[in-house]
Amino acid sequence: MIIAASIVMALACVLASGRRLWLAAKPTVIHPDDVVAWLGPSPDRSKLEALRAMVADVPDADWERDLLDALAQEGSEARAALVNEQLTELDLRMQRWARVPRVCASVSTSFGILLGTLVLRNGLANAPDLSGEVGELFVRGVFRDAMSVAAFGIVGTAFCIAVHAHARRMTRARLEATDRMIEKLEGAAAGPSDEPHDAARGTDRRSPEPGERLEGGGDPAGSSEADGSARTEK
């Protein structure tokens, strides 16, 4: 009965830590590296609109839709605020159950040692009056049972510690990938589609060509013809 309780507790801790690992691996539906690979080296606004259309068909991609809506804002301050809000939301998603593996490691160890101590106490308290080699074998058997019970807790602890370390590495890698993705998306939002507008504004502000009048608005060609006529009359 005590061994079964130790096994059940260790399995419960393992399952809870596994849940934490799954949450760290899947905070969003689409991995940022997949988005970066799909956008390519030179993303433009058409790629961004195509991505928006694809994400709209994914039921659970609410974070991705909110991020694309934030990047579509016109004002730079409003866009930065909304993007930072989505990054905060992503961080909260990745930190779900972050403390669970540590708590489970502590619980699994403590429970395993407690049950092992209980087995050892019961065995020694109910030990018959034996001496010699028979008594030594009996004590060794009791110790072996106690260590077997405690071992299940130790195994559960080792798994929880490994999950905690791996989940932290996954979280850091996911944040770095998200930064790369947002950089690509911002480049696509303010990319080649804005160049014609800039070129048009540059044409409006162009410097006068040689021969053009800077004042008066007259036609340089017309003034040249008038000067030529005056020289001919002379």
| Chain segment 156-178, per-residue pLDDT in tens | 999 999 999 999 999 999 999 99
**What is the rounded average pLDDT of the residues 42-61?**
89
119/115 Cα distance (integer angstroms) = 6
Would you say 222 and 214 are in contact if contact means Cβ atoms under 8 Å apart? no
- Give the CA distances from residue 171 to residues 25, 161, 185, 210, in Å, rounded to whole numbers and listed in that order: 8, 16, 21, 61
Residue 40 lies in a domain: yes
- What pLDDT sits at residue 204? 42
Most confident of 12-26, 59-73, 110-124: 12-26
Report the chain's mean pLDDT, rounded to a whole number.
82
- What pLDDT sits at residue 170? 96
Q: How far from the centroid of its chain's Cα atoms is residue 16's Cα?
A: 21
CA atoms within 13 A on the CB side of 206: 9
Please say if the pLDDT value at position 141 is more than 90: no
Please say if the pLDDT value at position 111 is more than 60: yes
Residue 32 lies in a domain: yes
Residue 91 lies in a domain: yes
Residue 85 lies in a domain: yes
pTM here is 0.72
List, in order, residues 6 or more apart from 161 with CB less than 8 Å away.
Answer: 101, 105
- What pLDDT sits at residue 137? 82
Residue 89 lies in a domain: yes
CA atoms within 13 A on the CB side of 104: 28
Question: Which residues span the domain enclosing 108?
Answer: 2-128+141-192
**What is the rounded average pLDDT of the residues 49-78?**
90
How many independent structural domains does the chain possess? 1
Residue 218 lies in a domain: no
pLDDT tens digit sequence for 182-232: 999 988 887 544 443 333 333 343 444 444 433 344 444 444 444 444 444
- What pLDDT sits at residue 191? 55
Residue 34 lies in a domain: yes
Residue 87 lies in a domain: yes
